[in-house]
């Protein structure tokens, strides 16, 4: 059952008691309700509902007050982080106050609900940070959790990590980037820990291994130094029928410190027989099952973070998504800079200073009417990721990839151009996952030809999409190959 009822405060409460594809349903648009109440007495079912209907990732429920049944209080574990209250009666005075406080504060700071679906880790982080601002929970404190990926986790982040919302590497980059930009501030150092360099999980098993063969079946014993004859050998060589007797001079050993001592430990490999003083410590990751030298582990500082006042403003602003993406990637540049760069390269080429080709790839999205769609931050992000060694830019509803194919040894550049085209096609296939029904994503590439006098035409042509793209992919294409975005 799903209905909308008014409460005494005049707020419209969306009431539901079972899983429902709310974001996809045309029957309950976002503007029809202000509050959500999940009226289900089962912990597990309520969790299942919350995986989709929550004030962070659900586009329709974004930042709206959310309540669950009073009987579930204290039983929801990590989900408690996204629940504003436990109540069955939406007219209870505390409930009315909570609802009004949240809605009025969101209005005050200008946080509105209508948003696009969450498509990437970074988009999700912005959404989650907005939610935290909306609930005035702007201090982010890592907690130790034996079941959590990185040992120290911020509980609300971890809840969504477990739901597959983001990658750990993106998580660390996000905190670093937000701190560098002054949007977050580390207020207290918690600990420096070492994570698996492959998967960034913290659950490692430390194993002592033979430095020669790497096996871990190693026995350890003490070394005995006999003062009288200066013999230094492992303890077992002294063992004669329960007595300690020197294997070299055959005297019985009596008092430690007087006639002998035990200066060190020695390890012997049961596999190859090698004896050694320092075993090599390796870390076996219980998550990805890879073995690493301890020196290779990834150090990671955990801090308490606070969202700064400037951070709150920028994060709430609707343009934040774009800023964040572009600043995440070193290879993203302003369109004006890309144009100057292309002009410079073109002049160099025609002056004979560069042997090779100057290419510009263009990617754009068309809707079902054949109109170009505004650039999506996630699209730029993806292109930046697929072309880490190229300059990427965006303007005119087009995402650009600049490329100079140098012909250093006088070789043919044809093969490199084909590689560029293949990479553009691969990017389109991945980006198709970002499309909405009826949309098509296209690319074409321009190769600089002619002479000095054609540079302006080349640059002018960059503003326009090509009527005959070199390749395209559609929304249906993305749906036919789930996982195409995982490349």
- Where on the chain is the footprint of Zn ion (CB under 5 A)? 196, 198-199, 201, 210, 212-213, 226, 229, 231, 246, 248-249, 269, 271-272, 274, 285, 287-288
Distance CA 18, CA 69 (A): 12
Q: How far is the CB of 237 from Zn ion (least distance, A)?
A: 11
Alpha helices (H) in 276-333, listed in sequence order: 309-316, 320-328
Which residue number, 302 or 328, has a Cβ lying nearer to Zn ion?
302
Residue placing its CB nearer to Zn ion in the complex, 89 or 259? 259
In the complex, the smallest distance separating the C-beta of residue 287 from Zn ion, rounded to whole angstroms, is 5
* Residues whose CB is less than 8 angstroms from the CB of residue 300 and which lie 6 or more positions away in sequence, other chains included: 150, 172, 192, 193, 194, 195, 200
Dmax of the chain from CA atoms?
100
CA gap 470, 422 in Å, rounded: 11
d(CA 281, CA 294) in angstroms, rounded, equals 6
Q: Least Å distance between CB 333 and Zn ion?
A: 34
Task: CB nearer to Zn ion: give 200 or 441.
Answer: 200
**Distance in Å, CB of 289 to Zn ion, minimum:** 7
> In terms of CB distance, is 248 or 447 closer to Zn ion?
248
Give least dist CB 272 to Zn ion, A: 3
Residues 6+ apart with CB under 8 A from 267: 208, 210, 218, 219, 220, 275, 276, 277, 279
Chain centroid, CA 367 distance in Å: 30
Residue 186 or 287 having the CB closest to Zn ion:
287
Q: How far is the CB of 291 from Zn ion (least distance, A)?
A: 10
Identify which of residues 186 and 253 has a Cβ nearer to Zn ion in the complex. Answer: 253
Residue 217 Cβ vs Zn ion, minimum distance, rounded to whole Å: 8
Which CB sits closer to Zn ion, 224 or 432?
Answer: 224
Q: Which of 64, 169, 42 is nearest to 111 (CA)?
A: 64
Which secondary-structure segment (H or E) carries 132? helix 121-134
């Amino acid at each position: 059952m799903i209905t909308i009822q008014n409460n005494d405060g005049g707020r419209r409460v969306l009431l539901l008691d079972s899983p429902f594809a709310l974001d996809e349903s045309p029957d309950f648009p976002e503007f029809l309700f202000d509050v959500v109440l999940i009226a289900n007495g089962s912990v597990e079912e309520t969790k299942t509902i919350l995986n989709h209907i929550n004030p962070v990732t659900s586009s329709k429920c974004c930042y709206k007050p959310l309540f669950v049944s009073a009987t579930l209080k204290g039983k929801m574990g990590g989900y408690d982080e996204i629940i504003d209250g436990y109540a069955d009666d939406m007219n209870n005075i505390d409930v009315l106050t909570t609802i009004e406080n949240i809605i009025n504060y969101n209005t005050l700071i200008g946080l509105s609900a209508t948003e696009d679906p969450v498509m990437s880790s970074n988009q999700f982080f912005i959404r989650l940070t907005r939610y935290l601002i909306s609930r005035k929970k702007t201090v982010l404190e890592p907690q130790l959790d034996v079941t959590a990926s990185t040992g120290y986790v911020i509980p609300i982040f971890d809840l969504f990590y477990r739901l597959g919302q983001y990658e750990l590497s993106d998580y660390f980059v996000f905190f670093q980037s937000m701190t560098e930009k002054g949007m977050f501030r580390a207020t207290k150092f918690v600990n420096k820990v070492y994570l698996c360099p492959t998967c960034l999980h913290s659950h490692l098993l430390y194993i002592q291994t033979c430095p020669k063969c790497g096996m871990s079946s190693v026995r350890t014993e003490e070394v005995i130094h006999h003062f009288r004859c200066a013999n230094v050998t492992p303890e077992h060589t002294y063992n004669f029928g329960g007595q300690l007797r020197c294997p070299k001079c055959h005297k019985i050993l009596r008092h430690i410190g007087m006639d002998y001592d035990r200066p060190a430990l020695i390890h012997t490999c049961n596999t190859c027989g090698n004896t050694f003083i320092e075993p090599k410590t390796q870390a076996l990751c219980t998550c990805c099952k890879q073995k690493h030298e301890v020196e290779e582990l990834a150090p990671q500082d955990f801090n308490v973070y606070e969202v700064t006042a400037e951070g709150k403003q920028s994060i709430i602003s609707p343009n934040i998504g774009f800023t964040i993406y572009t600043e995440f990637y070193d290879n993203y540049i302003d369109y004006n800079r890309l144009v100057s760069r292309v002009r410079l390269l073109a002049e160099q080429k025609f002056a004979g200073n560069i042997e090779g080709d100057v290419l510009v790839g263009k990617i754009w999205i068309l809707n079902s009417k054949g109109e170009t769609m505004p650039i999506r931050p996630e699209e730029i992000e993806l292109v930046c990721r697929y072309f880490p060694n190229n300059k990427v830019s965006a303007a005119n509803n087009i995402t650009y990839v600049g490329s100079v194919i140098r012909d250093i040894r006088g070789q043919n550049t044809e093969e490199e151009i084909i590689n560029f085209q293949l990479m553009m096609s691969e990017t389109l296939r991945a980006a198709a996952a970002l499309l909405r029904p009826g949309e098509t994503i296209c690319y074409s590439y321009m190769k600089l030809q002619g002479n000095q006098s054609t540079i302006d035409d080349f640059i002018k042509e960059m503003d326009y999409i090509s009527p005959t793209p070199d390749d395209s992919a559609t929304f249906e294409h993305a749906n036919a190959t789930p996982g195409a975005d995982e490349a």
